[in-house]
Amino acid sequence: MATSGERPAKAAEFTLPDRYHSDRRGPVRWVISHTRRYWYLFILMVIGAIGNAALAAAVPILVGRAFNAITATPPQIKALLPIAVLIVVSQLVRSGLQLARNFSAELLAQRLERDIRDEVYIALLGKSMTFHNLHPVGEIMARATNDVREVNLMFSPGINLIIGSAMFLVVPLFVAPRYHPALLITPVAFIVAYFLALWRYLQELHPIATQVRERFGELNVLLSEVLDGIEIVKGAARETAEVHRFREKARRFREAFVRQGDVEARFVPLLLMGIAVAAGFLHALYLYQRGLLNIGQVIAYVGLLQLFGFPTFVSLFAYARVASGLAAAHRILNLINKRTELDQNVHGYAASMRGAVEFRNVSFAYEPGKPVLQNISFRVEPGMRVAIVGQTGAGKTTLVKLINRTFDVTEGQVLIDGVDVREWNLEALRRQISFIEQDIFLFSRTIRENIAFGKPEATMEEIIAAAKAAQAHDFIMQFKDGYDTVIGERGVTLSGGQRQRLALARAFLTEPAILILDDSTSAIDSATEDKIQRAIFAASKGRTTFIITHRLSQIRWADLIIVLRKGRIAAIGTHEELLQVSEAYRRIFSRADALTPAGCANN
C-alpha cells in the first residue's frame, strides 16, 4: 500500500529521471503535491491576499470617520488631512501587497505548468508502443498542451482570485461588530447563501467543464489526423468532406461551451449581492434612527458590504477556471497513470550481445482472443541472415518487433543469447538492435543529428563513414550546408530513397549485434539498389540480420528463409530447400520473379 504522497509502483517501459514524485492518487492530491514544492510562493500569495483585503476595508472605515468629522458641530476640518494621508498610504501599501500576491501566484502557476509538462513528457516517453498505438496523437497533444495550460490558469487567475476574494468575505465579519453586534446578521446571511449557491453552481458546472475538455480533445484529434494525412485528403479531393467533419466537431465543442456559459449566466450570487447591500443599508438606517449608529458608521458599514462585490463578481470567472483546471488535471492524470505492459527491468541482463535468436512456441495478440501470431518456433545462430516473407497481413512486422520488445509475447518466449528478452535490461537490449522500418521517420534536425541519433557521441568521421556505407554521402554533399542541412519534419524535403539511406546510415553507425530491415529498400530506385544491396550485405557480416522483403536479390542471399501465412510458419529453410518442398514459397517466388526486372533478378 502506498503511503501518503507516494505513487504506487507500476511497470514502465522506460523509467526516466523523475524529480517530481507527485501523488497520483487523484487530481486534487496530484495538484497539491506539485504545489507543495513551492509552499513559500503560496504563503506569500495568502499574505498578500490578507493584507489587500484588510487595507481595502480601511477605505470605508476612514471615509466614515471623515463624514463624522465634517458633520460634527463644529466641523473638524483639521481631522480630514490625517485621514486623507492614511487613505493614500494604506492604498500604496495595498498596491505593493497586490503586486506580491499576483506575482507569486503567476510564478507559482508558471512553475507548475513547467513541472507538469516535464512530468507528462517523461511519462509519455516511458509508455509502451501498445499504449501509443491505442491513443490518438491529437488526443495526447490536447492533454499535454491545452490541458496543462488549464492547470496553469486554475492557479492564476483562478485560485489567486478565490483566495483574494475569500479574504474580502471575512473582513466585514471582523469589522461590522465594532459598530453594533446586530450588523453581523446581513454579512453572515449573505455568506451562508453565497456558499450554498456556489456549491450548487460548481455541482452543475463540473461535468460540463469536463465535457468541454473532452470535446476539445476530439476536435484536436480530427485536426491532427487531417494535417498528418493532408496528402491523402488532397489526392482524393476530400477537402469539402473534411471541412464538414471539422464543422461538426467544432459545433459539438461550441454547444458544450455554450452550456457552460448558460450555467455561468445563471450565477445566483450576483442577485444575492444586490439583496445583501440593500438589506444591510436598511438595517443600518434602522439602527441610525434608534440612535445606535452615527452617520459615519452607516457609511462605513455600507462600504464594507460593498467589499462583497469583489468575491461575487470574480467567483463567476475564478470558479469556472478551477472547474476547468480540475477537469484538465483529471484527464492528464489518467494519461500518466495508464499502465504499460513493458518493464524496463533496470537490473536485468545487460551483457554484450552475440546475436543468437530463438522463438519458442510464441503467440501474440493485440487484443484478447484475436491472435496475430500462433505457435512460432525457430532458431537463428549469430551472424545469420534471415529473410521473412509472406503475404500482407501475415504478421511479418509484428514478428520482428517481438525481438526488441516493441511488443511482448502473449505466450511462449523470445530468447537472445539464451536469455528471455523480458529478462534483459530494456535499454541494453534495444541499444544493440537496430530497426529500420518501411515508414522512415526523420526528425526536423540536421542530417548529422539524424544519423547520430542512436549514437550522439559519434565523431564526424564516424558519421561520414556510416553515410558512405549507406550510399548517402554523395547526395548529402550536394546540399549547400552538407551534413548541417536541416531537413523538414519526417524528412519531407527528401526523396523516399534519400530518407531510407539516411535511416540505413543511422543503423550502421550504432554497429548493432542484430539488424532488422522491414522492406527498407522499397523506395530506392533500381540504379541505387545494387549499391544499397551491397552496403546491406557488407553491414550484415558478423551480425544477425532479419530482412522483411519481397525482393529476390535479398531473399536469395539469406541463410534462412521463414515463410509466414496467417500468423503461422508455413515453411522454413534455405532458398533451394523451399523451392523443392514449399508450394507457398514457390508461389511467392514466382510472383516476385514475374514482377522483378531482369536486371534486378541477377543482382
DSSP letter string over 435-488? EE-SS----SSBHHHHHTTT-TT--HHHHHHHHHHTT-HHHHHTSTTGGGPBPP
Residues 149-161 have pLDDT tens digits of 989 999 988 899 9
What is the average pLDDT across 240-268? Answer: 84
Q: In 3D, which of 396, 379, 495 has the Cα closest to residue 442?
A: 495
User: What are the pLDDT digits (tens) for 29-78?
Assistant: 999 999 998 999 999 999 999 999 999 999 999 999 998 888 887 888 88
Q: Given a cut of 50, is residue 352 above it in pLDDT? A: yes
CA distance 244 to 442: 32
**For residue 344, is pLDDT > 90?**
no
Mean pLDDT of the chain: 83
Phi-psi region of 355 (alpha: psi -120 to 50; beta: other; left: phi over 0): left
pTM, two decimal places: 0.67
Domains in the chain with CATH codes:
27-337 (1.20.1560.10), 344-432+514-598 (3.40.50.300), 440-511 (3.40.50.300)
* Residue 399: pLDDT band with limits 50, 70, 90: very high
pLDDT at 168 over 50: yes
CA torsion angle for 68, 70, 73, 74 (degrees, to 10)? 140
560 φ/ψ angles, rounded to the nearest 5 degrees: -145, 135
Helices (H), 519-582: 526-540, 552-556, 575-581
Per-residue pLDDT, averaged over 445-462, amounts to 89
Rounded CA separation 147/327 (Å): 8
Residues 385 and 399: beta-carbon distance below 8 Å: no
Task: Name the amino acid, one letter, at 540.
Answer: S
Q: How far is CA 131 from CA 123, 124, 346, in A?
A: 11, 9, 20
Position 379 confidence tier, pLDDT thresholds 50, 70, 90: very high
What pLDDT was estimated at residue 95? 92
Q: How far apart are the C-alpha atoms of 5 and 123, rounded to whole Å? A: 18
Cα distances (angstroms) measured from residue 14 to each of 200, 221, 346, 430? 44, 26, 9, 11
The pLDDT value given to residue 557: 79
User: Three-state secondary structure along 79-101?
Assistant: HHHHHHHHHHHHHHHHHHHHHHH
Three cell numbers, residue 425: 535490461
* 234's grid cell: 488532397
Decide: 360 and 148 in contact? Cβ < 8 Å.
no
